[in-house]
Structure 1
Amino acid sequence: MSRKAKERLKYLYVLILTGERVGVITVSVDDDVERKFRKLVAEKYGRIRGALGVAVTEAMKLWIEKVEREKK
């Protein structure tokens, strides 16, 4: 596992241990996109509980940054 992946897992464990509050969003996603996303998440983090949420959060943050840059 890469150093970056280990750092992200450490972040995940901190969220679990601290009980930080998180939002819940239910969405519908194209089947192919979901399948590819889940596969890549499993490759990067392994099949651990919460890994999908970490990856979705990371993707959402990147999207927010992109949209905010485009506004300027």
Structure 2
Amino acid sequence: MYLLIYVPLVYRLNVDAGIPLCSAQVTHFIIAESMSIQWQINGLALMIIWATAAMLVQLWMPSTQANLLEGIDRV
């Protein structure tokens, strides 16, 4: 039920990068069949680890925006 509200709201607010993280978090709670404090701490730790990894990959990947803008200008 939570995702039925969260996903359209996040998409409407143009923050759809948070959908995979939240979906994974909800899936962990469903599989564990519990929302105890231990699972919440575990989920928070997983979100921090994956968000950090994603930011590091974004910093490492070369930007292609300049090439895209140049191609648009040529067209």
Scaled by the length of structure 2, the TM-score of the pair is 0.39
Scaled by the length of structure 1, the TM-score of the pair is 0.40
Higher Rg: 2
Higher relative contact order (CA closer than 8 Å, sequence separation 6+): 1
